[in-house]
Amino acid sequence: MPCTRSKSSSSSTQYRVAPSVASGSYHLGSPSPHPSTSVSQGDEVHCPFKGYDGCQDGVSGRGYAKSAIYRHITDKHFPTKKDKDICRDRIQTNFDCFVAWERVLQDLKMWMCFKCLHFMHGKSHALLNHIQQTSLQVH
């Protein structure tokens, strides 16, 4: 099983990807870059789906401005329900992709509901003060 979940409260579920998941286990597109290459530098944030859906990770692979990464992800990777389902599966089955998402969300100081793939500000949910282990949540 590639991910486990633990109940945090009656309205929130936390998902984790098992460390034993191989980075090449997903069959659509190429895997996300190694997590160390996904670290943002300054105001640049690397797309966690680099290599998928024709994503080149910005101009010359340098990433996106923090102000532009949200729009890139929603327009390029989450345009339809089917695309969201594919991306959700990538996060669950590709450990490097999961780690890259964690870094992006931490850099943006946001969290993402894993069920609907909506982004929310970290300060907008009281539960996040108690949960520091992951930024991917189901509400």
Q: What are the domain boundaries of the chain?
A: 44-133
Q: Which stretches of the chain are DSSP H helices?
A: 66-72, 81-93, 95-108
- Residue at token pair 């992800």: 73
Q: What is the pTM of this model?
A: 0.59
The per-residue pLDDT for range 80-103, each reduced to its tens digit, is 999 999 999 999 999 999 999 999
59, two tokens: 């101009």
The per-residue pLDDT for range 15-68, each reduced to its tens digit, is 444 443 333 333 344 444 443 344 445 678 999 999 998 999 999 899 999 889
